[in-house]
Amino acid sequence: MSDVLYFNGRFTTTDEPVLRVEDRGFLFGDAVYEVFKFLGKRPVFLDGHWRRLANGLKAIEIRNPWTAETFAATMREILERTEFDDGIVYIEVSRGEGERAHFYAEDMTPTAVAFSRRYGFPDAAKKARGIRLIRDEDLRWKHCDVKSVNLLANALSKKKAQRAGADEVLLIDGDIVRECGSSSFFIVKDGRVITHPLDCHILPGVTRDHVIELAGDRVDQREIDVRELDGADEIFITSTTLGVMPVYQIDDGATRPIGPVTLELQRRLDEEERR
């Protein structure tokens, strides 16, 4: 097998069509998802991804098909069955199958899917070069703390970035900087590492949590006014697939060098992932 698909308790490959048309994940986006990275067939920060998945399912009242132990065992078996050593595992749990109707039964049987994929993680050159962002209005729903599969607003904004020759989109809500289309956002000012606090406006990033821990008492979790962007000493984003990624430009503004705080956190996170 080149990749492996887990579907409701059995293993196959992604060549097999398994999703039924009346699954609520397909019809209503009634599902949550998770993605973790693996290196040398070893999952990175699996406990954090499990907690975020479990919290998301609880928040929208979908029955969790796993315990912490059975989840870890399932993910280990996926990696054992996967031929390649490095990549990602995508996980999705929907409320399940049922007649298409907004009302749903109280105790539906969830649909649980997970599959492995090769992934091209950033090399040293890209980590040193950094990326460019463009700004866009944040039009997402007001439960961004749930890692829902409802990603249309994110996808449309990220497409704008791609068409503008940028790598990622920075979502702005009024005058407040929230986060990026698929990553957490940080600025550095006078040695302080600043990021949006955890609330319904942003996703609780697993990599974000580790970077905050690495930065220690230098972190301020508060809202960032859009006018602070021009005066920031350093800017970086974090995600499972990018790690700590420097930002060298936003829109067509001035380019900025990669700063020492970003480089330190990038190096320390890379070391922690390898461990």
- The residues carrying an active-site annotation are 147
β-strands 184-189, 176-180 pairing: unpaired
- Angstrom distance (rounded) from CA 182 to CA 71: 24
Query: Which of 64, 81, 122 lies closest to 273 in space, CA to CA?
Result: 122
Count Cβ neighbours within 10 Å for each residue of 209-223 and write b for 16 or more, e otherwise.
bbbbebbeeebeeeb
Q: Please name the residues in contact with 44: beta carbons below 8 A apart, sequence gap of 6 or more.
A: 36, 37, 38, 240, 273
- Angstrom distance (rounded) from CA 172 to CA 179: 8
Distances (CA, A) of 228 to 23, 27, 35, 175, 204: 44, 41, 31, 10, 22
